[in-house]
């Protein structure tokens, strides 16, 4: 199976446009609800309607969202243009590399914040859902080939559920949104034990 990766964002201005936690909240909401007005965005984010309008316009300027059909003024709905974003600092000019590194930090802070938020309300979720929500970390020793194999295996598992965010008709009855966050990275180098 070939992993389908989203188009990589390389424009420093577009990378900086995503480097704001409110914009990640807006992207999350538009992914969950497909369309939302600035008023709905304000309810979801806790920001003002004016702030949400500003952030939606910034996301639109760089092609991440666009206006959906219907509504007028601040009651115009917005929708995502792309459901996946991809970036990395490798092979970018210094300005782009710095923007990509900043975006990575903002994105990770956002994800960790969402995990913490879930931890605060975990006990209020139904037990049938709560028991499967977990955070796990480990360190193991892999060769580069094994690391690649693990990455392919995990991508294959995720691929079984692809398309359900974008296409509600693919969602089974009784399903609900579940946020998946996976990080595969190399810890600080150490000398391997012999």
Q: Tell me if 167 is assigned to some domain.
A: no
Residue listed under structure tokens 């955070």: 135
Calculate the CA dihedral of residues 166, 171, 176, 178 and round it to 10 degrees: -60
Give how many domains the chain has, as a whole number.
1
Q: Per the domain annotation, does 178 fall within a domain?
A: no
Which phi-psi region, left, alpha or beta, contains residue 88 (left: φ > 0; alpha: ψ -120 to 50)? beta
pLDDT at 36: 96
The answer to whether residue 192 is domain-embedded is no
The reply to whether 77 falls in a domain is yes
Domain that holds residue 53: 12-132
Q: What is the pLDDT of residue 1?
A: 36
In a domain, 126, yes or no: yes
Q: Is residue 96 part of a domain?
A: yes
Output the domain CATH number for residue 64. 1.10.10.10
The helix/strand/coil state of 160 is coil
Whether residue 56 is contained in a domain is answered as: yes
**pTM, entire model:** 0.84
Write out the chain's pLDDT in tens, 194 residues: 334 556 899 999 999 999 999 999 999 999 999 999 999 999 999 999 999 999 999 999 999 999 999 887 668 999 999 888 889 999 999 999 999 999 999 999 999 999 999 999 999 999 999 999 988 888 999 999 999 999 999 999 999 999 999 899 999 999 999 998 888 888 877 665 65
């Amino acid at each position: 199976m070939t992993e389908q990766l989203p188009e990589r964002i390389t424009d420093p201005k577009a990378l900086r446009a995503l480097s704001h936690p409110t914009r990640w909240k807006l992207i999350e909401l538009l992914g969950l609800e497909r369309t939302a007005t600035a008023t709905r965005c304000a309810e979801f984010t806790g920001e003002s309607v004016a702030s949400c309008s500003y952030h939606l316009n910034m996301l639109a300027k760089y092609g991440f969202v666009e206006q959906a059909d219907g509504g007028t003024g601040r009651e115009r709905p917005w929708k995502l243009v792309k459901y996946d974003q991809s970036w990395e600092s490798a092979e970018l000019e210094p300005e782009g590399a710095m923007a990509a590194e900043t975006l990575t930090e903002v994105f990770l802070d956002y994800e960790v914040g969402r995990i913490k938020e879930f931890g605060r309300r975990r006990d209020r979720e139904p037990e049938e859902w709560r028991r499967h929500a977990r955070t796990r970390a480990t360190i193991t020793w892999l060769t580069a080939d094994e690391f690649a194999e693990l990455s392919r295996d995990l991508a294959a598992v995720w691929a079984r559920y692809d398309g359900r965010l974008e296409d509600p008709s693919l969602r089974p009855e009784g399903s609900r949104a579940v946020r998946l966050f996976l990080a595969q990275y190399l810890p600080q180098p150490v000398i391997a034990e012999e």
